[in-house]
Structure 1
Amino acid sequence: MAATIFLTRLPLRWKGEWPADLDRRALPWFPIVGCLIGVAGGALYWALTYAGLAPLLAGVVTVAALTWLTGALHEDGLADVADGFGGGRDKDAKLAIMKDSRVGTYGSMALILVVLARVGVLATLADPRIVALALIGAHAFSRGMLPLVKLALPDARLKGVSADQGRPDSARALVALLIGFTLAATTLNKLHLDGGTVSLAVMAVSAAAVWAVAQLAKRQIGGVTGDVLGAGQQMGEIGFLLALAAVVPAST
């Protein structure tokens, strides 16, 4: 429930006091919540295409609905990272820009590009079954990588979303990664790709995209913030979808 409250805007409320270590304990559940988000998106896309909507329009509505469901949490992080890394001269300036609630040119362009990429992939895949499996795998795997990023990098701020959650232990980070990997591998297996190598390649592209954001953050601001985690999730999701779109037409 804690992971769902954090990652979505569903009207759930925690009864009683919020335990101090609950944020850390919720991290392994991130890929499971991501899987459920993907299921919701896949079900909506399926219903829209069944109702006669073209793949492109169904993709637009699906991406919009998923953005609403998650409260644009990760998209906001991506925009802040793009503005901060693109416009800040040093670490302090970058962190100050990232904390600003306003969205600048770099952030706006980043949001436009990721939305176009997601809609484009859904329209390219087109088939409702493939789209549903793609969304489940992408949302689960990208969120399963986040605890590992938090474990590997120090917090760039002493206070903030990431710092307040605390650093996960290696066991929780590994569990989250294994759950995300298992869910993604299961969905990719249902697409009957050419052996496990192709599925591993899709996940490798997604993991590389997340890790690239993490390493960039380490160089730019010395560590991780909540915005960096959001940007990592977005890049991991896009990497997964793009890689899948590149192999599915030739493999199914």
Structure 2
Amino acid sequence: MLDWRAYIDETARAISFLSRLPVPDRFFAGHDGSLSKTAAAFPVAGLLIALPSACVLALSLTLGAGSTLAALLTITVHVVTTGALHEDGLSDTADGLGGGHDRDKALTIMKDSRIGTYGALALILSIALRTTALATLCIPGSIAPAIAAWLAGASLSRGLMVWHWSSLPTARTDGVASRAGAPTKPVANLALALGGALAIALGWLALPLAALLTSLIASGILSYGFTAHIRQRLGGQTGDTIGACQQFAEIGFLVTLAIAL
């Protein structure tokens, strides 16, 4: 039986970890800082974290902004809200995989805070693909499909990133993901189920079912492929690859949905 009071506490902690949004100190009283249980709340936290940017999207379209401008404003607000947490992981992962010829070199590059060519290109492509896809989903006369897709992608991608986290051993013992404590399989399964359920529930309101399911499958396949590649190249996950998985999952969902519609 799920303890909803405890889950609310974990959701608050997840919001604090995944964003710059303020969370009352009472949620951290007596907490050891571990994310092994908190990860189960990542999909719900992802949904709540995406609400401010979804409001910007709705307001921009209502006021007559063009779809591209509205989409870019939405992603800008979201990046500010999250502190570019996942974008940073994507950038570091791209630099490591692109510039590292072996595991140790790749991990060393990923730990370097400086951004390289591969990381810069990954960021540009991530913003461009998500902006274009979200703009395509801004159907004239209806703001519901774009908002539903944005919120659904936020929830689904956080569930898939937890799955990535739990599916691989840690690649290094001094990283953030290692210190935070890996989620157990039941926690990861709950996160994945909640991410998928929230995505379906949100998408059901405004998106064609076939396009929604196709996008869910595409996002899952892309996350699986990325995880398999990380297993082969690094032998395990890091905080950066977890963030990168979120980006791949969200991009895959939004782009596939934009094409399917």
Task: Compute the TM-score of the two structures, normalised by the length of structure 1.
Answer: 0.93
1-side partners of 2:96 and 2:119: how far apart?
9
Q: Which residue of 2 aligns with 1:129?
A: 144
1-side partners of 2:92 and 2:98: how far apart?
10
Match of 1:238 among 251, 254, 260: 251
1-side partners of 2:119 and 2:178: how far apart?
23
State the identity as a percent.
Answer: 36
2-side partners of 1:215 and 1:165: how far apart?
22
Q: Say yes or no: does 1:10 pair with 2:25.
A: no
Q: Which residue of 2 aligns with 1:85?
A: 97
Match of 2:174 among 159, 168, 181: 159
CA shift at 1:25, angstroms?
1.5
The residue type paired with residue 17 of structure 2 is F
> Which 10-residue stretch deviates more, 144-153 or 220-229?
144-153
Q: How many residues align?
A: 246
CA shift at 1:168, angstroms?
1.4
Conserved? CA contact 2:47–2:152, under 8 Å: yes
Conserved? CA contact 1:28–1:173, under 8 Å: yes
Q: Which residue of 1 aligns with 2:123?
A: 111
CA shift at 1:18, angstroms?
5.6
Q: Which residue of 1 aligns with 2:8?
A: none
Stretches of structure 2 that go unaligned for 5 or more consecutive residues are 1-11
> Which 10-residue stretch deviates more, 171-180 or 4-13?
4-13
Q: Deviations over 1:203-246 (max 9, x none)?
A: 11111111222111111111100000000000000000011111
The residue type paired with residue 6 of structure 1 is F
Q: Which residue of 2 aligns with 1:144?
A: 159
Q: Which residue of 2 aligns with 1:209?
A: 222
The alignment partner of 2:25 has SS state of coil
The alignment partner of 2:182 has SS state of coil
Q: Deviations over 1:55-98 (max 9, x none)?
A: 11111111111000000000000000000000012111111100
The alignment partner of 1:9 has SS state of coil
The alignment partner of 1:235 has SS state of helix
Q: Which residue of 2 aligns with 1:168?
A: 183
2-side partners of 1:171 and 1:14: how far apart?
28
CA RMSD of superposed structures (Å): 1.5
Task: Compute the TM-score of the two structures, normalised by the length of structure 2.
Answer: 0.90
1:23-42 equivalence runs, <5 A: 23-42=35-54
Q: Deviations over 1:124-169 (max 9, x none)?
A: 1113211110011101001011222222110001121111121212
Q: Deviations over 1:163-219 (max 9, x none)?
A: 1121212211111111101100112212351x4x54322111111111222111111
Q: Which residue of 1 aligns with 2:240?
A: 227
2-side partners of 1:137 and 1:149: how far apart?
18
